[in-house]
Amino acid sequence: MDGSQLMPLQIVYEGVVTRTVRDTAAFFASAEKFYSNPKLPKLGHVTHHSKKRLRVVFFENPAVGKGGNQDADTYRVQKETAELLQSLGHTVDQIPLPIDVDTMTEHYLLYYGFLAYMVSHHGRLVLGAKVNHEVLEPFTLGLSYKFKNNKLKLPNSIKMLRAVGAETEKLFESYDIIMSPVLAHTTPEIGHFSPDLSYEVVSKRAVDFATYCGLQNITGSPAISLPMGKTENGMPVAVQLSAPFGLDQRLLELAYELEEAKPWRLLHSMQVAGR
């Protein structure tokens, strides 16, 4: 993203959507031929899972009404995947979320508003063209307005978000992998995030929906999402696995193992547990 390298806190990342772990591994092996971070280990072409057993941690489900609460299907798939990992010989622990989600989202929205403000008011510097405010949806305008009225709080929000990231990263002192939902709720109906909705409605829905994506954006550590289950109406439900910086190979190896144990192509034929 143009200008993202200038951000005081990096929350914009690039990745790839593929049908198989093999394709993801091949993409990154090819990308590495063009550039690799000299400060991180070489990834190479990962082609199979590892025999090493890992220490995995995942989170308890916060109570309904609390930040980070997962709906029934999302949490069920978390538990099913934890059980699968245990059956494969990995050690799995479950702990409470180590952060205050409501505080995190408050600071995240202000920082996100800073990005919206910079693009909408200084688009020529970032995008090379002036932004027409008349075509911006209420959510972007609301984010920008929120930041404009609270801009003096930005340094503290950046400080707090960095502290949240550091607190989460401390889990890697005891665990090899952090497992979380990709999204806290399953696929919403079309219109749930309609651009015509007010800032207040969209921001509340986005915070409830993408809590764990926001947390992962803050930490910036490598992560991979895998479709490990489905809803009663056949929509996929994913889990997100993250590892310490530079250990992308560990993620791909574990993803290979999970794909082999529960192939994506068979998900459509698997009965939803308890149904």
Q: What pLDDT is recorded for position 197? A: 96
Q: Which residues pair with 240 in a beta bridge?
A: 180, 225
Q: Is the pTM of this model over 0.85?
A: yes
> What integer pLDDT is reported at residue 125 of this predicted model?
74
pLDDT at 7 (0 to 100): 80
- Average pLDDT for 152-177: 95
Q: Is the pLDDT of residue 270 over 60?
A: no
- Interval 21-33: pLDDT, tens: 999 999 999 999 9
pLDDT in tens, 6-18: 788 888 888 899 9
Backbone angles phi, psi at 224, to 5 degrees: -140, 140
Band the pLDDT of 268: cuts 50, 70, 90.
low
Angle between helices 101-121 and 199-209 (to 10 degrees): 130
User: CA 103, CA 82: separation in Å to the nearest integer?
Assistant: 28
| Cα–Cα distance measured from residue 63 to residue 78, given in angstroms and rounded to the nearest whole number | 16
Mean pLDDT of the chain: 91
130: pLDDT strictly greater than 60: yes
Residue 234 has pLDDT above 90, yes or no: no
Q: First vs last Cα of the chain: how many Å apart?
A: 44
Domains and CATH numbers, the chain: 4-267 (3.90.1300.10)
Q: What is the pLDDT of residue 1?
A: 46
